[in-house]
């Protein structure tokens, strides 16, 4: 009983075996001692909190932050001892920050609960008690038989039992899992495929044994034991038998499957990635500054405590006549009294630590991230995809990137393959008008004549048409089980069918073979049909040897129409040629290298013929490996190696992958911005170099160094030393390095420093033949080097995920290789060319905004607390507060919070056009320059200087004579404190106004509105006797202060004294020592004036802005802009129903000298 209780509480989880046994329809054995296994229910839980644990769990997470925990301690100290300020002064801001964060996180979690309830409550049909029963998704149990209809998603991970097709197959798409939109065929075992009705399924006796839940979408190991007529039949189960939760049923009326993995144990749920928290350089700087300010706080508190006791050493000040000690005070412990005084000073000065900094930064990041999605320059019209932000925590990191690691296929290229050339039996061919023409010959055959391909050429094309996993979608209605599976082929034409493939290469090759005359017509069950120049041929598909990254090849074993057995295989030349024993091996190798030099992607095709006896042995090997429950992968690899040998080489193909638009200009812009670009690809060396040259990654004038085909550590080290020597000796401005995966493994093993030294001296690095984990290792190598550069990884496929997660910033391309990269990235864009805008403009803006926000927060808090510290010298360190408690509480929450938030959302130091046209400006903010210790010191000292001026300026006015009223009435200490506070609020607000370069109506509203709010609030607060306040210290103080002309004069003089030196410094530096950014500001001024203040937030080069509706509304309210103004250099007309018509955008030619990505804009008028 005790053990059961411990298991329920999760302290003693039940022992789990390596496999699970599932009884189909939950028909458990009646004999023996069967102990049922416990499985998870089918509820999906993506939420973080429940209604019971929200408060404790959320509070625990929030108080893990140093600043929040610090203010909690201060608040508790104020409650426990007699402190100079009310506990409300610390408690209210803390409560505000905690509450705002809790509401935000609670709302986000409520949305997750809502989404979970929709999924868990979806209606499903299960087979129970001999009939179909409708229930909710969350009620499905492991072992239930579930019915899924066409276009529905699978509610659990199912093993397919049967479908409406006679052969028991079905088609699915896995777009929501991996983004692949092609149709995939899944199979049931022959013994269950005939159970197409509920009654047949009810009588089915079967047991599934399989592995425990695993996150790998493409791995499933199991076997099904079906009992028929008292005989047990064992069949292997693999990924092709498993229907994953989240996938969608297509081209199939209905299927029945048995639930294997439910709820949070389904593969989709196990792939909910809890990504490691990435922290930006700004956040790290912020934490460092907090620690420094904590040090300043402790220093001030200790100094004040020591000076208090030094002062009280004199007897007249220890116990003056007006403040006699009580007996208890005289007898109290000196140590306890010292600690109590120290804590009291700590409370008095605690506002030097800005608690509202965190919540302001969170709001700035969250709201600021919308600008990326709104930017129409990052919108791809062809695919209707806009940029998306998966995490807003790294916005400013986009402005700090020093290294970009990019994939090649699908990232730099379109991943749209076009067949160009092939080599058959040592002869090169190219496709001309749908015919294969040998190299050096022209196509002289008259149109319409049938090309005569015999022998090797025909066998090669048949191999291309049969060795693949391509699916076909027809325009006609779906087939039902009884029809002719190849009836579509009658009257065959290209308009009736479309090929779908998981690999663009496969699709391009099958389409090319079809154009030439060998057309793949489809698969039905285990039969594949092709039409060879009008003659139909059917092959029996016996086995598919799936592609994997280690073998780098895939194969099919077929039975030919004549009854023979043949293996067709295709793959990389390194995976095929070593196993080939016949054919023109050397000629084909040369042709493959030639294709690669042209930038073509190459595949090698081979075959092997089996005798009946050999095939029986092959079949036995494969079945033994596929039915193994232990070490199935290793046994399959051995079986594949046994089969894919002694190959007869047929030839090779060359497929072109076109470069994406503006890749060369983007790479050049990144280079001018001081960013080094590394290309990491799995392609072969020659192909990768060719693409690198064509996209501008390598220049023709660049000295290309090579680290290739190294066999040993010593050989690799020697080659690295030679390269390092060449870099020093060669007087070449730029070097490029090419390294392959094998050599990289050796270099990273024992020669990391030497390898890094060579890489850092190269302006471009190309790594080819890279495995996914090697990509991540290279990123980690750079990331952890002594310089700690900021890295960015960009890719589009599942093989780029590890690299994207390893880099400081990960960017996914919404390409044709699925959505894994996008799901695991921090940002997602549709094309590589958008990277320049993302970094050079958005990254620049985000960084300067948050850098100023952080330093301004520390500055205004130094201004706030230093007068409090100075005041202690004039009140015998009695811990008397200078400001009223309400002012202490509201300073950071109300009086100074909005101007900096609006500044951090809209500030633009330089116009966006100029930032794109001058990538060199990116260097000005690199290496966290705006948050360097020197800049931090400047802001801190400025805060101290301003605080001294506030305090002593007010003291000079009131120190000798406090009769500032015409009637001789005197002012007191609260008036002095209010004068200092008033000057401070005005000065810190105007200081931010001086830092603002880009003024919108919102900046004006919050800047002048904050000052006005302070005055109105103070008049209201001090003009009424509030019954709930135990003291009325501020009653009529502010009204009296404003009644004095001297006070007004003092306010004006002190504000000018503080800000005038700052203005002089800015003018001096701008005219005598201008930075490149300041020079660009003067260039961009006419353009900036021409753009609407609101619209230019997200309107840059093309078309309307992302917030144009908001802009038009605000401009109508403020009356700033004419309705006819053309802001975006485009004439965009709309019909009366809102339909967009053609846009006309006026551009001049690219400014090649200074603007790799920019355009000189004309017609810019307001």
Q: Which active-site residues does the annotation give? A: 407
Q: Round to whole Å and give the CA distance between 210 and 846.
A: 50
Kind of pairing, strands 553-559 and 565-571?
antiparallel
Burial class of residue 18 in the structure, from the number of CB atoms within 10 Å of its CB (0-12 exposed, 13-18 middle, 19+ buried): exposed
Q: Which of 525, 527, 547, 546 is nearest to 536 (CA)?
A: 527
Neighbour count for residue 326 (Cβ, 10 Å): 8
Q: Round to whole Å and give the CA distance between 486 and 472.
A: 11
Kind of pairing, strands 435-438 and 427-432?
antiparallel
Give the residues across from 680 on adjacent strands: 767
The distance from CA 1150 to its chain's CA centroid, rounded to whole angstroms, is 31
Kind of pairing, strands 676-680 and 764-768?
parallel
Would you say 1114 and 1094 are in contact if contact means Cβ atoms under 8 Å apart? Answer: yes
Burial class of residue 919 in the structure, from the number of CB atoms within 10 Å of its CB (0-12 exposed, 13-18 middle, 19+ buried): buried
Q: Which of 1011, 998, 994 is nearest to 1060 (CA)?
A: 994
DSSP codes, 689-751: HHHHHHTTSS-TTSEEEEE----SHHHHHHHHHHHHHHHHH---S-EEEEEEHHHHHHHHHH-
Q: Round to whole Å and give the CA distance between 56 and 63.
A: 11
- Calculate helix-pair angle for 897-906, 844-872, nearest 10 degrees: 160
Q: Round to whole Å and give the CA distance between 5 and 384.
A: 54
- Calculate helix-pair angle for 844-872, 973-995, nearest 10 degrees: 160
Would you say 840 and 915 are in contact if contact means Cβ atoms under 8 Å apart? Answer: yes
Would you say 1144 and 1158 are in contact if contact means Cβ atoms under 8 Å apart? Answer: no
Neighbour count for residue 943 (Cβ, 10 Å): 24
At residue 454's C-alpha, the angle toward residues 449 and 455, to 5°, is 170
Instruction: Compute the half-sphere exposure of residue 1088: CA atoms within 13 Å on the CB side of its CA.
Output: 19
Q: Is 275 helix (H, G, I), strand (E, B) or coil?
A: coil
Would you say 739 and 766 are in contact if contact means Cβ atoms under 8 Å apart? Answer: yes
DSSP 473: E
> Tokens in use for 145?
């038989």
Q: Round to whole Å and give the CA distance between 649 and 583.
A: 5
> Tokens in use for 75?
């608040």
DSSP 237: E
Q: Round to whole Å and give the CA distance between 1088 and 1077.
A: 15
Burial class of residue 124 in the structure, from the number of CB atoms within 10 Å of its CB (0-12 exposed, 13-18 middle, 19+ buried): buried
Would you say 1036 and 1022 are in contact if contact means Cβ atoms under 8 Å apart? Answer: yes
Q: What's the alpha-carbon Rg for the chain, to the nearest Å?
A: 37
């Amino acid at each position: 009983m005790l053990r059961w209780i411990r298991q329920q509480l999760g302290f003693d989880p039940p022992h789990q075996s390596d496999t699970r046994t599932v009884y189909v329809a939950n028909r458990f054995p009646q004999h023996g001692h069967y102990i049922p296994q416990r499985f998870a229910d089918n509820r999906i839980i993506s939420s973080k909190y429940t209604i019971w644990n929200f408060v404790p769990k959320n509070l625990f997470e929030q108080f893990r932050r140093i600043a929040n925990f610090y203010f909690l301690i201060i608040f508790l100290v104020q409650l426990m001892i007699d402190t100079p300020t009310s506990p409300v002064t610390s408690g209210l801001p803390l409560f505000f920050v905690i509450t705002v964060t809790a509401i935000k996180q609670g709302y986000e979690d409520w949305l997750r609960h809502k989404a979970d309830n929709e999924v868990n409550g979806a209606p499903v049909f299960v087979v129970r008690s001999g009939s179909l029963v409708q229930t909710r998704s969350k009620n499905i149990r492991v072992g239930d038989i579930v019915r899924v209809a066409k276009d529905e998603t699978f509610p659990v991970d199912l093993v397919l039992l049967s479908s409406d097709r006679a052969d028991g197959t079905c088609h699915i798409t896995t777009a929501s899992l991996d983004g692949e939109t092609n149709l995939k065929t899944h199979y049931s075992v022959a013994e269950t495929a005939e159970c197409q009705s509920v009654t047949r399924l009810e009588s089915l006796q079967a047991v599934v044994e399989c592995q425990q839940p695993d996150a790998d979408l493409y791995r499933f190991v199991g076997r099904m034991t079906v009992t028929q007529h008292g005989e047990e039949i064992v069949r292997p189960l693999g990924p092709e038998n498993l229907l994953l939760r989240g996938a969608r049923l297509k081209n199939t009326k209905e299927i029945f499957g048995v639930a294997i993995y439910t709820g949070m144990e389904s593969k989709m749920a196990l792939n909910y990635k809890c990504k490691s928290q990435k922290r930006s350089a700004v956040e790290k700087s912020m934490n460092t500054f907090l620690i420094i300010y904590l040090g300043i706080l402790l220093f001030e508190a200790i100094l004040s405590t020591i000076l208090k006791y030094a002062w009280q050493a004199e007897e007249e000040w220890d116990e003056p006549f007006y403040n006699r000690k009580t007996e208890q005070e005289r007898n109290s412990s000196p140590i306890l009294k010292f600690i109590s005084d120290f804590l009291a000073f700590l409370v008095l000065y605690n506002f030097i630590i800005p608690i509202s900094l965190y919540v302001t930064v969170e709001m700035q990041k969250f709201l600021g991230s919308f600008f990326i999605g709104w930017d129409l320059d990052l919108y791809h019209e062809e695919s209707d995809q806009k940029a998306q932000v998966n995490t807003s925590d790294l916005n400013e990191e986009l402005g700090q990137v020093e290294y970009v690691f990019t994939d090649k296929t699908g990232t730099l290229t379109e991943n749209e393959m076009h067949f160009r050339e092939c080599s058959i039996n040592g002869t090169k061919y190219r496709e001309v008008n749908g015919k294969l023409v040998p190299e050096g010959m022209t196509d002289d055959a008259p149109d319409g004549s049938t090309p005569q391909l015999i022998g090797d050429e025909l066998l090669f094309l048949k191999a291309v048409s049969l060795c693949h996993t391509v699916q076909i979608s027809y325009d006609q209605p779906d087939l039902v089980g009884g029809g002719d599976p190849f009836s579509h082929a009658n009257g065959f034409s290209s308009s009736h069918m479309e090929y779908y493939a998981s690999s663009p290469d496969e699709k391009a090759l099958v389409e090319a073979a079809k154009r030439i005359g060998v057309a793949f017509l489809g698969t039905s069950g285990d039969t594949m049909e092709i039409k060879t120049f009008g003659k139909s041929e059917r092959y029996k598909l016996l086995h598919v040897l799936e592609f994997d990254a280690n073998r780098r090849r895939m194969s099919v074993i077929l039975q030919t129409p004549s009854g023979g057995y043949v293996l067709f295989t295709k793959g990389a030349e390194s995976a095929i040629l070593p196993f080939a024993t016949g054919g023109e091996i050397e000629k084909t190798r040369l042709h493959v290298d030639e294709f690669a030099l042209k930038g073509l992607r190459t595949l090698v095709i081979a075959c092997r013929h089996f005798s009946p006896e050999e095939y029986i042995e092959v079949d036995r090997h494969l079945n033994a490996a596929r039915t193994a429950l232990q070490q199935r992968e290793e046994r399959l690899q051995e079986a594949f190696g046994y089969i894919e040998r002694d190959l007869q080489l047929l030839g090779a193909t060359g497929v072109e992958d076109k470069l994406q638009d503006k890749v060369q200009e983007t790479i050049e812009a990144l280079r001018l911005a001081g960013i080094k670009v590394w290309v990491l690809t799995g392609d072969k060396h020659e192909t990768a170099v060719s693409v690198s040259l064509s996209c501008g990654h390598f220049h023709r004038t660049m000295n290309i160094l090579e680290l290739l085909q190294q066999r040993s550590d010593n050989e690799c080290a020697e080659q690295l030393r030679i390269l390092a020597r060449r870099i020093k000796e060669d007087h070449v401005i730029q070097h490029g390095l090419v390294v392959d995966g094998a050599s990289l493994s050796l270099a990273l093993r024992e020669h990391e420093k030497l390898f890094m030294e060579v890489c850092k001296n190269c302006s471009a690095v190309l790594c080819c033949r890279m495995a996914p984990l090697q990509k991540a290792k290279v990123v980690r190598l750079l990331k952890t080097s002594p310089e700690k550069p900021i890295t960015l990884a960009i890719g589009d496929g599942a093989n780029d995920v590890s690299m994207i997660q390893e880099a400081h910033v990960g960017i996914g391309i919404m390409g044709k290789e699925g959505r894994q990269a996008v799901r695991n990235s921090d940002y997602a864009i549709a094309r590589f060319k958008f990277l320049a805008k993302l970094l050079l403009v958005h990254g620049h803006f985000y960084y300067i905004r948050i850098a100023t926000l952080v330093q301004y927060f520390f500055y205004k808090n130094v201004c706030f607390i230093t007068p409090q510290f100075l005041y202690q010298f004039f009140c015998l360190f009695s811990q008397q507060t200078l400001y009223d408690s309400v002012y202490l509480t509201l300073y950071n929450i109300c009086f100074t919070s909005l101007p900096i938030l609006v500044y951090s959302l809209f500030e633009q130091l330089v116009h966006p056009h100029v930032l794109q046209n001058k990538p060199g400006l990116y260097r000005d903010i690199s290496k966290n320059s705006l948050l360097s210790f020197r800049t931090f010191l400047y802001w801190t000292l400025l805060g101290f200087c301003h605080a001294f001026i506030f305090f002593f300026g007010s003291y000079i006015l009131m120190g000798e004579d406090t009769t500032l009223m015409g009637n001789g009435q005197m002012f007191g200490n609260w008036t002095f404190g209010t004068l200092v506070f008033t000057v401070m609020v005005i000065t810190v607000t105007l200081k931010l106004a001086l830092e603002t370069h880009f003024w919108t109506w919102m900046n004006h509203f919050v800047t002048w509105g904050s000052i006005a709010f302070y005055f109105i609030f103070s008049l209201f607060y001090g003009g009424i006797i509030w019954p709930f306040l135990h003291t009325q210290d501020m009653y009529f103080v502010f009204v009296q202060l404003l009644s004095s002309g001297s006070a007004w004069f003092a306010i004006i003089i002190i504000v000018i004294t503080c800000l005038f030196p700052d203005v002089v410094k800015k003018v001096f530096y701008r005219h005598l020592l201008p930075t490149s950014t300041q020079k660009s500001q003067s260039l961009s001024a006419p353009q900036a004036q021409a753009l609407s203040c609101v619209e230019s937030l997200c309107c840059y080069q093309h078309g309307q802005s992302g917030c144009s509706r908001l802009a038009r509304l605000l401009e109508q309210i403020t009356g700033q802009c004419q309705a006819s103004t053309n802001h975006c250099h485009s004439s965009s007309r709309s019909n009366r129903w809102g339909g967009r018509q053609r846009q006309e955008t006026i551009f001049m030619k690219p400014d090649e000298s200074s603007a790799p990505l920019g355009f000189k804009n004309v017609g810019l008028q307001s």
